[in-house]
Amino acid sequence: MKLDVNALRYLSKDDFRVLTAVEMGMRNHEIVPAELVDRIAGLKHGGTYKVLRNLLKNKLVHHDATKYDGYRLTYLGYDFLAIKTLVNRGVFASVGRQIGVGKESDIFEVATEDGTVLAMKLHRLGRTSFRAVKSKRDYLAHRRSFNWLYLSRLAALKEFAFMKALGDHGFPVPTAVDCNRHCVIMSLVQGYPLVQIKELQNPDDVFDTILGLVVRLAEHGLIHCDFNEFNIMIDDDEKVTMIDFPQMVSVSHRNAQMFFDRDIECIYKFFRKRFHLSSEKCEEQDGLDIDDDENGRPSFLSVQKAAGSLDKELAASGFTRKEQVEMDKYIDQNADEESSDDDSTSEQDNEDGDDVAVKINSLKIAEQGSAEVPDCTIAARGSNEPETFAEEVSQIYCTE
């Protein structure tokens, strides 16, 4: 679904009231009964049903009458709720062009009142990947147990917390600005994804820097879990920036060693293939056990002994144990699916893997100096509009 924020200008207070009512109903309903939406919204003279028709027309909700007359939010409706809240907070004033698309996220430019350009990341967990459609007919059925909007919100909350903590500890990450629902606002990274870089002036230095980041993360008690060429940004000075953190886990996670080894292997494999890693390093690594300290590769067991407590600090960042367990289940399932996909589609990946991967994961970030300032302005409503979801909920339950 393409994000068209122009429609946001024409939505009324009642429209957002009903949207929020559907969101609230989805806390314990997959499909929210129309009667429940009407009761929560509290509009007079049957106004809720008229608003629902308008929201359905704009594809902000989905209608389902299979078992009963009900509605659920679409990702576009969830986008509008998050954007409206952030605009009312004054975080940004306009939304511009899309600058990146990932397997489970979309990246847009946004601009503040003073013209500062930021990046807005909208998490879209559950979005079908091209490879999964080809290889697994039961892919969607397998994932119906998840509430994707809920998991997307958890992913955004987790990414924001990790980004902020990593930045405070001196890691090269974007600056975390704000977060609401499934939307994360961050500084705009200068440079390009490593996957788009064909040549480097100092590939060995960049390789050592990237590998050092994996080890440094583990020494702070964290594993990235998706540390590859798509989630590493390189600028003109070959400065490295890490992105994409919702899947990070603690070194105490039951699969932490597997995730750590996979991150290390991804870096080695990419640099061997793209930048022809020096033969000395290749000969040193090939055929050896990753966990053996003598092979020169970082050892998870040795790093784990010196691990810090950043993972424990983040455990108290507002992410409840229940939410963490649910995200861990999703991360583990993703790991299983990726492993299965790799086994069944390795031949096809050799033929067209680069093109598909770039299409799915490319996060081409234009240089801020040459970026066009977004021109699609979203006018904030009056000062009496709710700025947070809690205020929206409070207003819904308040009778006039």
What was the pLDDT predicted at 104?
Answer: 85
Tell me the one-letter amino acid at 211: L
Name the pairing type of β-strands 232-234 and 240-242: antiparallel
pLDDT in tens, 296-344: 677 777 676 656 666 666 664 555 566 666 666 666 666 565 555 555 4
Claim to verify: residue 387 and residue 275 sit in the same structural domain = no
Q: Which domain holds residue 48?
A: 1-87+380-394+396-400
Among 165, 152, 297, 289, smallest CA distance to 222 is for 165
Please tell me whether residues 239 and 384 are part of one structural domain: no
Residue 94, domain member (yes or no): no
| Contact call for residues 179 and 219 (beta carbons, < 8 A) | no
**Which residues form the catalytic set?**
226
Res 340: pLDDT: 53
What's the pLDDT tens digit per position in 116-144? Answer: 999 999 999 887 544 443 343 333 334 44
Mean pLDDT rounded to a whole number for the chain = 76
The C-alpha atoms of residue 172 and residue 174 are separated, in whole angstroms, by: 7
Residues 10 and 46 in one domain: yes
**Does 77 share its domain with 197?**
no
Residues in contact with 333: Cβ distance below 8 Å, sequence separation at least 6, in sequence order:
none
Summarised one tens digit per residue, pLDDT across range 244-303 is 888 888 888 888 889 999 999 999 999 999 988 765 555 454 443 444 454 567 777 767
Name the pLDDT band for 107 (thresholds 50, 70, 90). Answer: very high
- The answer to whether 181 and 78 have CB atoms below 8 angstroms apart is yes
Quickly state the pLDDT bin for 174 (edges 50, 70, 90).
Answer: very high
Q: At what angle do helices 148-168 and 321-344 cross, to 10 degrees?
A: 100
If pLDDT is split at 50, 70 and 90, which confidence band does 198 have? very high
List residues bridging with 117 in a β-sheet. Answer: 111
390/348 same-domain check: no
Together in a domain, 273 and 387:
no
What ranges in the chain are assigned the alpha helix state H?
13-25, 34-41, 47-57, 75-89, 130-135, 139-142, 148-168, 203-219, 256-274, 279-285, 300-305, 310-314, 321-344, 346-361, 389-397
C-alpha separations of 269 from 57, 215, 248, 384 in Å: 48, 17, 21, 55
Establish if 163 belongs to a structural domain: no
**How confident is the model at residue 137, as a pLDDT?**
32
Structure tokens at 345: 């589609």
- Same domain for 293 and 389, yes or no, is no
pLDDT tens for 353-371 read 444 333 323 333 333 333 4
**pLDDT given at position 221:** 86
- CATH number (domain holding residue 16): 1.10.10.10
Q: Please give the pLDDT value at position 323.
A: 64
pLDDT for 197 equals 92
Contacts of 322 (CB under 8 A, 6+ apart): none
Confidence (pLDDT) at 189? 92
Mean pLDDT, to the nearest integer, of 220-236?
90
Q: Cα separation of 223 and 257, whole Å?
A: 9
Does pTM surpass 0.85? no
The candidate with the shortest Cα–Cα distance to 331, out of 182, 224, 230, is 224
Q: Identify the pLDDT of residue 31.
A: 93
Q: What angle do CA 56, 60, 63 make, to 5 degrees?
A: 45
- Examine the domain organization and report whether 385 and 310 are in the same domain: no
Residue 79 has pLDDT above 60, yes or no: yes
d(CA 176, CA 179): 8
Cβ proximity of 84 and 8 under 8 Å? yes
